[in-house]
């Protein structure tokens, strides 16, 4: 009996393709195979094998089973689930899941080792080389350097047969975690939370807990206890810890390494391809038992995932907005269900979605009481910029500057928080009023002084800052409006010339190593004033940081989308929470033009519950998440008339379903990106509606012309 293999291909194709299984290949779901697609051979993954043949059209055979580990059943099921949820092609999440499998293997290194044979002639230089070679595997050049001799000496010993050259592949092993090590003694509220999590992680079965505690309350210590319990209970168990930012993965990797005496697998976009391959294979083989990573680590081929931690679970960076659009926190819960694993969502400012699930009893709610030990939460004060504005052309108000001066005088550190990269968010011509915008995109160009360029943060387009206005030709007429972190840095340097000032944003810190360096130097007290975007405002422990100044507390409230207030609250609570750990009391000053706003009042009173209650009531009234569901459709095309026609047809094709409302099409606020016009629909549905199924049905009714792209965003975070 011949058999058919359905093969998923990591490309945006609507479904798996069928191939004939060659005799004797004995394929199974999850196997990685090479299959012909058009003129090429391409890697795919078998999703199903069934009896049959292609009918009257013979199927092409699978070309080869690849010598790479198969995707475990849970990973394969998760990939398919994620595609259905996101209303996208299964090849999209599959491409993420195969990122490590497709990366090149680490290249073998040439090392020299002693053969045991005596050289024909012994000299002091030769003796030094042989001694060094006996100690470590080194390349010929490194060996010569280690022995302090010329490379000719090494070469001579190889020719003599006393040394031999070997090709070795860097050890793919991960040191196993040392589970005999103990964490710190937990305080009673930590111990209670840890016991609950340990039980969840060792009993097996799917369950979700919300670990809710202010910054510094010991959430990390508590979930590391649960990780230790899961790893101890089952020698094959694996643990995944997800973080929203690469910079934060570094801090948690250090904590994990310290706790378990072995480094975890590290996974994020900054890991070079051979390193990815190494982690991917070790995870698939079960040799890597702890992974710390960014959202795409969720797609790794775990064999026995027992515990998933989503740290800073409220963070909107868990939402992937491009390519395959997904919310990693929600998918983590889905993966936990598929793997029958425990899921821990940790945050000082949980998302309203998670709070709602905890209130409704769907998640176990574990609250930690206050900061650990003597550390206190900072005092939070509002600076009313209408009363004490900064001087003309400056951004730091007198009360903030005075607090910075006191802090500096005490030898303590200040963090100035401004969630805006670059020097100035807008450049305009004072002669004609022209705003500098990107040529093919509806967005202002942001001035970057370090590079002297104007940059579109949306598309990456950039150009040198022109000497004359491109519109009216006036010379030296371009002025920078508003502050970014670089401009605040300039002001801080001018105010405190003796202070050591640094900037932390994705422009100054672009890889994990640089992030680690800056975090370490801040932790070591080598920086007095750190000006930072959200990249540094979260999760770090800086013992000497006692003052946080929020330069523009109102920034996130402008242009208000669904989560503007929630996000502002979370971000500012996180940023202000950096102040004062250990035994030093901290202070946070928020510069605002709207001190009476509910968000500012809640921050000042440190009354999260009051803020959450008010926000929940509003959302419930409007039927918005977490009380209802949202999805967006973004249609784009370069021909405006064609796009309009298509959107009209799409509106008409929307299925009529009770509990679902479709709004649009409307011009997107970002109406033009990379030369393509954009239109949006917004869909609101009652909680009980399977919104993914609705969107899939709608999508199946329309056939966009080739030049029009349609993206579906389930649970949108951006409304631009
Ligand atoms: P969170 O993750 O909630 O911000 P952390 O786990 O990072 O909190 O804890 C904050 C600081 O307090 C860390 O330096 C941590 O090591 C320390 N800490 C927390 N709990 C304890 C404890 N029970 N014993 C000793 N140190 C603790």
Angle between helix 598-605 and 564-576 (nearest 10): 30
pLDDT tens digits, residue range 110-121?
888 999 888 888
pLDDT at residue 539 is higher than 90: no
Residue 374, pLDDT score? 63
C-alpha of residue 271 to centroid of ligand 1, in Å: 28
Q: What is the pTM of this model?
A: 0.85
pLDDT tens digits, residue range 627-669?
999 999 999 999 999 999 999 999 999 999 999 999 989 998 8
Please indicate whether residue 187, judged by its CB atom, sits closer than 6 Å to ligand 1. Answer: yes
How are strands ordered across the β-sheet holding 545-550? 379-384, 587-592, 545-550, 413-417, 529-532, 501-504
pLDDT at residue 171 is higher than 60: no
Query: Which pairs with CB-CB distance under 8 Å and at least 24 residues apart come from 336-339?
Result: 336/206, 336/208, 336/305, 336/308, 337/206, 338/74, 338/77, 338/78, 338/81, 339/74, 339/78, 339/206, 339/302, 339/305, 339/306
Question: Which residues share a beta bridge with 239?
Answer: 290, 307
pLDDT at residue 513 is higher than 90: no
Residue reference for tokens 């990390």: 220
**Distance of alpha carbon 475 from alpha carbon 467, whole angstroms:** 6
- Calculate the alpha carbon distances from 329 to 273, 314, 345 in Å: 25, 8, 8
* Residue 90 structure tokens: 């299964």
H helix or E strand, kind and range, residue 531: strand 529-532
Residue reference for tokens 């027992």: 306
Please indicate whether residue 217, judged by its CB atom, sits closer than 6 Å to ligand 1. Answer: yes
Please indicate whether residue 664, judged by its CB atom, sits closer than 6 Å to ligand 1. Answer: no
Backbone φ and ψ for 577, nearest 5 degrees, come out as -65, -10
pLDDT at residue 172 is higher than 70: no
Provide, for the chain, the percentages of residues in helix, strand and coil under a 3-state DSSP scheme, each rounded to the nearest 5.
35, 25, 40
Largest CA distance in the chain: 92
Measured on CA atoms in the order 598, 600, 603, 605, is the torsion positive or negative? negative
Query: Which among 145, 170, 141 has a CA at the least distance from the CA of 158?
Result: 141
What DSSP assignment string belongs to 153-222?
HHHHHHHHTSEEEEEEPPP---PPP-TT---PPPPHHHHHHHHHHHHHHHH-S-EEEEEE--TTSSHHHH
152-169 in b/e form (b: 16+ CB < 10 A) is ebbebbeeeebbeeeeee
C-alpha of residue 236 to centroid of ligand 1, in Å: 28
Residue 514, pLDDT score? 82
Q: What is the mean pLDDT of residues 162-175?
A: 78
Residue 460, pLDDT score? 84
Query: Which among 438, 339, 330 has a CA at the least distance from the CA of 77?
Result: 339
pLDDT at residue 560 is higher than 70: no
Strand, helix or coil for residue 5: strand
Strand, helix or coil for residue 413: strand
pLDDT at residue 319 is higher than 80: yes
Q: What is the mean pLDDT of residues 448-466?
A: 88
- Calculate the alpha carbon distances from 649 to 146, 280, 646, 714 in Å: 72, 44, 5, 21
Q: What is the mean pLDDT of residues 125-144?
A: 88
pLDDT at residue 503 is higher than 70: yes
Residue 693, pLDDT score? 97
**Distance of alpha carbon 137 from alpha carbon 115, whole angstroms:** 13
Percent of the chain residues topping a pLDDT of 70: 97
Please indicate whether residue 448, judged by its CB atom, sits closer than 6 Å to ligand 1. Answer: no
C-alpha of residue 418 to centroid of ligand 1, in Å: 26
> Between the ranges 51-65, 235-249, 648-662, where is the mean pLDDT highest?
648-662
Average pLDDT, the chain: 91
Percent of the chain residues topping a pLDDT of 90: 69
pLDDT band at 537 (very low <50, low <70, confident <90, very high): low
Residue nearest to atom 14 of ligand 1 (CA): 541
Residue reference for tokens 């939402």: 319
* Residue 371 structure tokens: 């900061």
Ligand 1 atom closest to the Cα of residue 217 is 3
The mean-pLDDT minimum among 81-85, 305-309, 535-539, 603-607 falls in: 535-539
pLDDT band at 137 (very low <50, low <70, confident <90, very high): confident
Residue 612, pLDDT score? 94
Cβ-Cβ contacts under 8 Å for 555 (sequence gap 6 or more): 418, 419, 420, 568
What DSSP assignment string belongs to 447-459?
EETTTTEEE-TTT
Please indicate whether residue 218, judged by its CB atom, sits closer than 6 Å to ligand 1. Answer: yes
Residue nearest to atom 26 of ligand 1 (CA): 184
Residue reference for tokens 């976009």: 269
pLDDT tens digits, residue range 65-87?
999 999 999 999 999 999 999 99
Please indicate whether residue 184, judged by its CB atom, sits closer than 6 Å to ligand 1. Answer: yes
Cβ-Cβ contacts under 8 Å for 70 (sequence gap 6 or more): 28, 30, 31, 32, 45
* Residue 188 structure tokens: 């009673």
């Amino acid at each position: 009996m011949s058999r058919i293999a359905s093969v998923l291909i990591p490309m945006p194709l609507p479904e798996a393709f069928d191939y004939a299984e060659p005799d004797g290949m004995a394929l199974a779901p999850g196997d990685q195979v090479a299959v012909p697609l058009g003129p090429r051979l391409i890697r795919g993954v078998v999703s199903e094998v069934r009896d049959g043949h292609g009918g009257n059209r013979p199927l092409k055979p699978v070309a080869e089973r690849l010598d790479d580990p198969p995707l475990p059943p849970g990973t394969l099921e998760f990939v398919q689930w994620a595609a259905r949820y996101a209303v996208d092609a299964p090849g999209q999440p599959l491409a993420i899941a195969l990122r490590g499998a497709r990366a090149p293997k680490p290249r073998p290194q040439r090392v020299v080792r002693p053969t045991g044979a005596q050289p024909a002639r012994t000299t002091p230089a030769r003796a030094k080389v042989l001694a060094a070679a006996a100690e470590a595997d080194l390349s010929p050049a490194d060996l010569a350097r280690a022995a302090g001799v010329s490379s000719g000496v090494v070469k001579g010993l190889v020719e003599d047969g006393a040394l031999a050259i070997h090709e070795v592949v860097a050890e793919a092993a991960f040191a196993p975690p040392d589970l005999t090590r103990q964490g710190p003694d937990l305080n009673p509220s930590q111990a209670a939370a840890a016991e609950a999590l340990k039980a969840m992680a060792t009993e097996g079965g799917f369950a979700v807990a919300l670990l809710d505690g202010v910054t510094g309350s010991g959430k990390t210590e508590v979930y590391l206890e649960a990780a230790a319990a899961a790893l101890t209970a089952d020698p094959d168990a694996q643990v995944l810890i997800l973080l929203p930012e690469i910079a934060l993965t570094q801090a948690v990797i250090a904590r994990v390494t310290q706790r378990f005496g072995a480094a975890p697998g590290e996974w994020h976009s900054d890991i070079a391809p051979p390193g990815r391959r190494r982690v991917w294979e070790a995870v698939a083989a079960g040799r890597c038992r702890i992974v710390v990573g960014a959202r795409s680590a969720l797609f790794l081929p775990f064999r026995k995932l027992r515990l998933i931690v989503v740290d800073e679970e409220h963070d909107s960076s868990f939402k992937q907005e491009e390519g395959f659009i997904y919310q990693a926190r929600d998918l983590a819960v889905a993966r936990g269900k598929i793997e029958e694993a425990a899921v821990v969502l940790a945050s000082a400012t949980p998302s309203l979605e998670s709070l709602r699930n905890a209130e409704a009893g769907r998640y176990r709610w574990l609250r930690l009481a206050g900061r650990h030990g003597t550390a206190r939460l900072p005092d939070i004060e509002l600076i009313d910029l209408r009363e004490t504005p900064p001087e003309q052309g400056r951004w730091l108000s007198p009360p903030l500057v005075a607090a910075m001066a006191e802090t500096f005088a005490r030898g303590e550190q200040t963090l100035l928080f401004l969630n805006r990269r670059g020097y100035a968010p807008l450049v305009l011509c004072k002669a004609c009023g022209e705003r500098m915008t990107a040529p093919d995109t509806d967005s202002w160009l942001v001035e970057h002084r370090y590079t002297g360029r104007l940059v579109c943060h949306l598309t990456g387009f950039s150009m040198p800052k022109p000497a004359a206005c491109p519109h009216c030709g006036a010379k030296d007429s371009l002025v920078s409006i508003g502050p970014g972190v670089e401009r605040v840095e300039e002001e801080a340097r001018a105010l405190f010339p003796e202070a050591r000032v640094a900037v932390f944003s994705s422009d100054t810190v672009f890889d994990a190593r640089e992030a680690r360096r800056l975090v370490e130097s801040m932790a070591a007290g080598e920086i007095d004033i750190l000006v930072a975007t959200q990249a540094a405002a979260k999760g770090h422990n800086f013992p000497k940081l006692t003052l946080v100044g929020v330069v523009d507390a109102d920034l996130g409230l402008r242009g208000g989308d669904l989560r503007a207030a929630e996000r502002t609250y979370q971000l500012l609570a996180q940023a202000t929470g950096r102040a004062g750990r250990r035994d030093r009391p901290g202070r946070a000053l928020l510069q605002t033009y709207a001190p009476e706003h509910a968000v500012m009042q809640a921050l000042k009173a440190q009354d999260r519950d009051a803020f959450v209650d008010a926000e929940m009531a509003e959302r419930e009234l409007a039927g918005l998440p977490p009380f209802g569901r949202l999805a967006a459709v973004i249609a784009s095309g370069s021909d405006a008339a064609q796009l309009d026609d298509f959107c009209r047809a799409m509106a008409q094709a929307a299925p009529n379903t009770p509990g679902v409302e479709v709004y649009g099409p409307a011009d997107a606020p970002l109406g033009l990106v990379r030369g393509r016009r954009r239109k949006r629909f917004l869909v609101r549905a009652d909680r009980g509606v399977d919104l993914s199924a609705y969107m899939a049905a709608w999508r199946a009714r329309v056939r966009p012309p080739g030049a029009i792209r349609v993206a579906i965003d389930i649970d949108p975070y951006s409304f631009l």
